[in-house]
Structure 1
């Protein structure tokens, strides 16, 4: 059974675009009517930037205050009403033509790009985001400049390279192991490489007219999201950016942050619905399918099930004693293991045949398990989807040519043979465990239409531009590493968006397989229709970031921290905070000076005593009220109250009545009081020589009473005569009755014991105030108000200055701890905090555990070890998470003693680094820290460096080196979880990249010995299928590289790197 939902051209639900401009729009500002705010620090921004050395990137400009006295609040401006009817006329001569009519959102984005603005395009897969990126590239080339296209993964970079070489004449690509035509008009690279180039202000960034960031929603990635933020922050503000992202609900907030960071207006276009049946989940269809399933499972009306008697076995026909007690069908037991996979495979095969009959292939089947991907595909041996021998011959020839440069032993790998057999029947498999060259072969066959059904994990939906006519979910539940859960709406949309090929299909179909039972209705509705995951900052400080910042003169870590998306809320408040700070300082200067014949210091001391008294007895009075409020808070009780409107000093009052807490009236205990004042307040009445009176109803006991005295007005007082009450209270005040705290009687002994310290404190403070000259002064209230206002302004100024200062940054404490750790490690100078030689070496190690590796470098561990041992060690720092791990003890048992000793030294060094991090309280994920050094891969890496063929590494038999008689055992034995070839290749490739970085670090140290050792290690591992050139680069790369050499000859001093 399956659920089907149509979606137009890949399930397109929404498209968003945002463009940025340097224009100042008055509607984007909030007017400051009271005073004009100016920030003196902003006056010299331009001169600061112009004075920076050429070899160092300038920090982005600080937020600038417009001269019209308005504070910039929003940097994202809605552009919903932009009319694109006259698109052609407004665009003028286009930089490139498209073979299809652009959607309105694309037209708006293209117009912004043509004006030199930045754009943010948020739409899910197959919506047409790439068209905007392509136009931005063409526009940059038209202006005589260059463009950079970044992608999150190397595989996508390679694919984009092949795609762009068909549209642009001069294309280059830079990945960790390949550099083709790096000075081309458009260069494709990973975001990490762009970050490194920005930190170092690489000369190849010259004349860049636009930068395209693909998959910007990777900002949400906990490990790599920070890279996108770093690149956006470091990008020169005059370089337009094109940001491509999946659908996100907070696109305007993110665009606002980008605009604030780059100091440019960002235009946004809200999402609009294309076609999704009004976006309403079809509950009726779900109920119908549910009823059909239940009806099919129900027993026949007259079936006599389980009606047999006695002890007989089998079909209820036993003849023993007793009657059967079970009536009706037995409860359905959930399938497990092999039986479940067989059922799912059967259902999928039936669905695929139905789609073939309905002409709805090709289809992508998303499976959330690498093992299941292969089991489903291999479980359909009789399914043949190719059209005939001619198409089968094309597939055979392509695969033969693709694998022709591999060694014979590599061509005979079981994985290659299995994928080839599947492809010759129109079936493909795509997951991270496949060899890179195998994945690329499958992708190319799929793009050419020869793979009719592709079983893929969700990584296939990440950027790889391979739409299909239909998408099938084998399940909408997945294991996220810790638990099973339903797909998030963003995940579902990203994958379902693969349904529908632009320009070929008017509708894309999405199916959810329900092999055993229907998914939960609520969960299914949430997955399909709820809001997508918002963009959330994953900005974090790393030691590498701090080292890179330390190498620069005009950059500090605070520059990145304060401009990060993490600090977006703070950045929004900074202009207002600066304005408020200026106002407070002006108000502070305008305050009248306290002039008192008794002395200013006395009033300041008195004010401190008064303020300390507040809230001291709040809990005590609350408890008293709940215990005996009729006696303690009786009518006529003299009290001191505070927190009155327009009055900061405490004032004498008398209780007129009390109200216990009640759900119908008030949730807190309150009293009704008459207050006598020295000066009038709103609502007060004159009381002759006594001053003024004001009645306050429902004054909270806990927050309004400063002191409950031991006195009450005498019997016979007319409480309706406010004039007389005021005169009587003044008499009591002169007699000192408002200065005597309440004495608790014997019936309140328990409370007296509980609040003993509070009662003593109230008495002591009252006595201290009574001794002050200010206590009886008729100017006490006026002077007290002035002192309190001064103090409040000082506190507010201090708070605002802290908010504005970098010390208020969320990660400021973490930064201080990490800097201390770098000092302890000798990578920063203790006195000057300047980067040391050791720190400069560490800054080259942007991959792996730079702290431990730097320690090993400076101890010359690499210089003394042989090549295979060095490879074994470095590979431990570059191990892919997909490689099955053996224990350290088992790994060491397969290695020679000198290699084991080297690994033990690394473990010891790793532990010492951990001790320093613990000492300085650096927040560390110790699980991830331990994973930085994975000794389980060491035997495999050692064997590879000794020349053992890749095919033998993947076997479960003992393997022998070609160079000597040593025998090495593979990482797994029969019955163990097998190694995944793709994970092993990635580990060795990362090992090579890490060696390249180590060579740079050794060069900084001046150690030619280690530099030579590193090159020998790289030579030992860069071979065979592990470093087979990408199919996307093999033909096009040679053509581009050759052309680049010719072009370079015309440009004096223009370096061109060969294909590596």
Structure 2
């Protein structure tokens, strides 16, 4: 393999540029294990099938739990590489699979060394720290071994960027996105995590001979909507495939890596040293910031000194301070309006940019937390020109002209393209989700090669690859997260500020925070910069699509995914020891002596139940009575029955020697001191008849040790220091039946609350019932009682552990049962066998959109009878991007023909039917999100697009007309409305096309050739013009793009970048 294959200089961009899978690890330490003395059959994996027995289209079964080795259970599956010695790195690595033109950092060396050994690694480091080098080496190492590698990215745009980047380093590169599949069997294939999940479910042939999988941006596990996909992929991957997980700095990276290792039954090596260096640096920065902050605050403070104290003022004011130079408080500042505030911020930003230009600190990225403000800032600097001269301006002009040359003339005249072009010719760029994909790519390419000097971007740009700047500016440290305004999280701040400083080119990176009106709160600022990062948290959730996919498989169940999810990590950690303890308890249960009672075993069990019920009732009763005026019943000499004694489970007669003081505090334990008269077991009694002994117990808890307060006390004159004498008195009272008479309710005790009065009566009734039992006077009562209690407690412990091990204890088990009932009600699963039906198989193909409603519509043949524009309008409602401004259903229907409206009404009826089933089965549902799955507001736009209306006309506020006929559409939005975002519209139509592709597969499963043909007609109608313009990172033949021209930033230099 060539480490740096030659690249041609043709095409569009030339214009601009010029392991080991063993379960046991020899390096595992003693602390990774816990002892186990059970037989191996407790961990037998005999029920697991081999991979060779699997159907061709089914993923490998989940790995069985590792058998105990040397009597020990593996409890820790991660190893920290932070302190691993790498002084002999070159010797240990051997001939490298890939050479780098710069000096590797220590954390890179450690990770690369583990990758070369076939191990899985988790690398957590801040942005621009150099994590990609580890990924590149893993790819090269897989190819060196004659295998292939998969690189996953969180978004499609990032996949295209990585395709271009890797094409410059490796000979055989492929990419798979929703609408593009280039060289899917290449040595390295880039795809989104969702696509990998789909391929894993169906065991796609593209997964053959995979030697490593790289997960980029693993911290996306925290994403509430998409985080579950990362967990699914990690669980479904064959355990023998090593993983390289790249993440931003997170708090609990070792815990997450430990989960991965336990799930795959192999060690995962971790390293976050670079993140710790970043934290030390930010702490130093925050200390310097406090000093600078105090200086700036002081400069803002009004001058409190008197000026001209001895002068004679000549002013004409009539105040008493006339001429004395007395300071007058400044007039309070009027709050700025929205427009005034933006103008002020724009002016200060422009001044800051000019200052950075003068100090040679460009290029810069300005992070703005609003798409509209991104554009307002950029457009508000019409006279700012940052390009070096006409030569550079000419390069930018030629590149943009060629980049947009394949678009229709009307698309090239789009206001967005014109505005971005004008900005780029002055060295300014804008980047946010509302831009057209081709426009965003053009801006990215210009910025990455230094021709955009200042880029106004939303925070999603921090996810981009290899696009650092010399400086980063935050327009604010507050953002709206969809529900409220809040300060930036430390993880967000680090991710964005990490873009400051180009590795190998800048010794430091510069980070600035704009304070247009007033300084931000120092406490909030330092907290944002230096607080601990957000931990990784499982977002695992059950979906109907997941249940349908599992129902199609033979060796997988939904419970397998659930039990192995990060959500169940704590449970999974306890499972090995729980299984060990369960085996021990079963052996203990088998070894317990059998109860042999001449009076009848049933009688003893019934007597034990009465005793345990009495204890439960007495617990609250006596602790309540103890803290009232009636505490005198716990006087010295009172006869009581007690339990909770060492090694004895039965209750025993005792006498109170003293009691603690009453207290109303819940934290104070109420106790008594007692002397207990106990009987020796029959086999231990002496021939002389000495069958008893006494025990003095101090501080016996009233709540958990006092069974019964009798109505009797020892006579006065008893010597409480004489234990033998007290024992004789206790035996006498017991023989006389005094311990069988509960406390009577005298007049002075009837003032207690009614519920306690009733409890006292119940205790008395239970005591009488116990007295009637033949077991009460039996000399074997204590031994038999202890045996019955031991049997019961052991049985309960076994049941508790069995439940913990059983799938019924899974957190999502109740939700799973309810969701399965929904699938049965809708006919996707067979009621009796719970096997997937033909309808269910069709629904399983709809991995995008509302699979339940869409399957109902397919079954009702609504697509076969409708025209193409109506079908497009309907399907686009299930694929609408959240960024598209929504009009009301009524307004949408007014812009559509009657046949389309009927189709939408049928879809709403089906959607309501599904909602009724969800309600009936009590499935927890986010109804706002459920309603958003069917967005009728986009239907007129999609209908017009399918009729051939140009994209430019879709964006206008003027009436639009179809190319195919004389039909005139009303404008899709009126002047004054929130304008449509071109990028969101494009994403909606692209998702619509992908959903049509899935619908075609579902229709094929159902054998509906008519619908399959209709689907292709619909796709042909919408796949056109700028909406489906080929990515600038790919050429028409899907070949890689050339390298940058001379003079663009050279990323091959060595060195590290810090932030200042």
TM-score for the superposition, normalised by structure 2: 0.92
Contact 2:215/2:246, CA 8 A, preserved across alignment: yes
Listed as ranges, the matches of 1:220-619 within 5 Å are 220-271=222-273, 273-274=276-277, 276-277=280-281, 279-280=283-284, 282-283=286-287, 285-299=289-303, 301=305, 327-619=328-620
Secondary structure, aligned partner of 2:107: helix
Matched, 1:1030 2:1054: no
Corresponding position of 2:780: 779
Distance 2:49 2:419 in 1: 64
Post-superposition offset of 1:280:
3.9
Distance 1:121 1:83 in 2: 17
Distance 2:687 2:393 in 1: 105
Contact 1:349/1:380, CA 8 A, preserved across alignment: yes
Corresponding position of 1:716: 717
Post-superposition offset of 1:756:
3.6
Going from structure 1 to structure 2, the CA distance change for 1:292 and 1:533 (only over 3 Å counts) comes to closer
Matched, 1:806 2:810: no
Contact 1:642/1:706, CA 8 A, preserved across alignment: yes
1:64 aligns with one of 45, 63, 66: 66
Distance 1:627 1:300 in 2: 65
Going from structure 1 to structure 2, the CA distance change for 1:1039 and 1:666 (only over 3 Å counts) comes to closer
Secondary structure, aligned partner of 2:228: helix
Post-superposition offset of 1:299:
4.8
Secondary structure, aligned partner of 2:58: coil
Map Cα deviations across residues 509-544 of structure 1 (whole Å, 9 max, x no partner): 111111112221211111111111111111111000
Going from structure 1 to structure 2, the CA distance change for 1:20 and 1:495 (only over 3 Å counts) comes to farther
Corresponding position of 2:643: 642
Contact 1:496/1:510, CA 8 A, preserved across alignment: yes
Higher mean Cα deviation, 735-744 or 863-872?
735-744
Contact 2:1035/2:1041, CA 8 A, preserved across alignment: no
Distance 1:585 1:1039 in 2: 64
Distance 1:500 1:30 in 2: 40
Post-superposition offset of 1:283:
4.0
Post-superposition offset of 1:322:
15
Corresponding position of 1:1002: 1003
Corresponding position of 2:199: 197
Corresponding position of 2:626: 625
Secondary structure, aligned partner of 1:862: coil
Post-superposition offset of 1:705:
0.8
Contact 1:299/1:328, CA 8 A, preserved across alignment: no
Listed as ranges, the matches of 1:135-150 within 5 Å are 135-150=137-152
Contact 1:149/1:214, CA 8 A, preserved across alignment: yes
Distance 2:112 2:458 in 1: 33
Map Cα deviations across residues 88-142 of structure 1 (whole Å, 9 max, x no partner): 2222221111110111111111111112111111112101011111111111111
Higher mean Cα deviation, 434-443 or 779-788?
779-788
Post-superposition offset of 1:36:
3.5
Distance 1:876 1:406 in 2: 27
Map Cα deviations across residues 581-605 of structure 1 (whole Å, 9 max, x no partner): 1111111111111122212221111
Going from structure 1 to structure 2, the CA distance change for 1:821 and 1:804 (only over 3 Å counts) comes to same
Secondary structure, aligned partner of 1:519: coil
Higher mean Cα deviation, 816-825 or 64-73?
64-73
Secondary structure, aligned partner of 1:189: strand
Going from structure 1 to structure 2, the CA distance change for 1:665 and 1:842 (only over 3 Å counts) comes to closer
Listed as ranges, the matches of 1:819-968 within 5 Å are 819-968=820-969
Contact 1:181/1:1040, CA 8 A, preserved across alignment: no
Secondary structure, aligned partner of 1:545: helix
Secondary structure, aligned partner of 1:845: coil
Secondary structure, aligned partner of 2:98: coil
Map Cα deviations across residues 357-399 of structure 1 (whole Å, 9 max, x no partner): 1111101010000011011111111111000000000000000
Contact 1:217/1:246, CA 8 A, preserved across alignment: yes
Post-superposition offset of 1:656:
1.2
Corresponding position of 1:1053: none
Distance 1:271 1:21 in 2: 27
Going from structure 1 to structure 2, the CA distance change for 1:690 and 1:280 (only over 3 Å counts) comes to farther
Map Cα deviations across residues 920-945 of structure 1 (whole Å, 9 max, x no partner): 11111111001000011111111111
Matched, 1:978 2:979: yes
Distance 1:320 1:290 in 2: 35
Secondary structure, aligned partner of 1:192: helix
Distance 1:972 1:757 in 2: 73
Going from structure 1 to structure 2, the CA distance change for 1:698 and 1:509 (only over 3 Å counts) comes to same
Listed as ranges, the matches of 1:163-202 within 5 Å are 163-202=165-204
Map Cα deviations across residues 171-200 of structure 1 (whole Å, 9 max, x no partner): 111100111111111111100000000000
Going from structure 1 to structure 2, the CA distance change for 1:811 and 1:296 (only over 3 Å counts) comes to closer
Post-superposition offset of 1:1033:
0.9
Secondary structure, aligned partner of 2:628: helix
Post-superposition offset of 1:82:
2.4
Contact 1:215/1:463, CA 8 A, preserved across alignment: no
Map Cα deviations across residues 892-932 of structure 1 (whole Å, 9 max, x no partner): 11111111111111111101100100111111111100100
Distance 1:439 1:31 in 2: 51
Map Cα deviations across residues 404-458 of structure 1 (whole Å, 9 max, x no partner): 0111111011100100010000000000000000000000000110000000000
Contact 1:56/1:200, CA 8 A, preserved across alignment: yes
Q: Which has the higher contact order (CA 8 A, sep 6+)?
A: 2
Distance 1:843 1:544 in 2: 6
Q: CA RMSD in A?
A: 2.6
Secondary structure, aligned partner of 1:471: strand
Going from structure 1 to structure 2, the CA distance change for 1:680 and 1:103 (only over 3 Å counts) comes to farther
Distance 1:965 1:859 in 2: 32
Q: Gaps spanning 5+ residues in structure 2: where?
A: 1-18, 309-314, 1043-1060
Distance 1:411 1:692 in 2: 102
Distance 1:89 1:80 in 2: 20
- Count of aligned pairs between the two proteins: 1012
Contact 1:299/1:329, CA 8 A, preserved across alignment: no
Corresponding position of 1:214: 216
Distance 1:770 1:31 in 2: 52
Map Cα deviations across residues 53-105 of structure 1 (whole Å, 9 max, x no partner): 33321222121113422110101123334222222222222111111011111
Map Cα deviations across residues 964-1006 of structure 1 (whole Å, 9 max, x no partner): 2222123321111111000000000000000000000000010
Distance 1:84 1:42 in 2: 40
Post-superposition offset of 1:851:
0.3
Post-superposition offset of 1:609:
0.9
Post-superposition offset of 1:731:
1.1
Distance 1:825 1:893 in 2: 33
Going from structure 1 to structure 2, the CA distance change for 1:831 and 1:993 (only over 3 Å counts) comes to same
Corresponding position of 1:13: none
Distance 2:147 2:727 in 1: 85
Q: Gaps spanning 5+ residues in structure 1: where?
A: 1-17, 305-315, 1042-1060
Distance 2:686 2:1001 in 1: 84
Contact 1:881/1:983, CA 8 A, preserved across alignment: yes
Going from structure 1 to structure 2, the CA distance change for 1:30 and 1:133 (only over 3 Å counts) comes to closer
Distance 2:909 2:35 in 1: 65
Contact 1:20/1:266, CA 8 A, preserved across alignment: no
Going from structure 1 to structure 2, the CA distance change for 1:172 and 1:850 (only over 3 Å counts) comes to same
Secondary structure, aligned partner of 2:426: coil
Contact 1:180/1:1040, CA 8 A, preserved across alignment: no
TM-score for the superposition, normalised by structure 1: 0.92
Higher mean Cα deviation, 416-425 or 507-516?
507-516
List structure 1 segments (4+ residues) > 6 angstroms apart after TM superposition. 18-21, 316-323, 663-666, 684-688
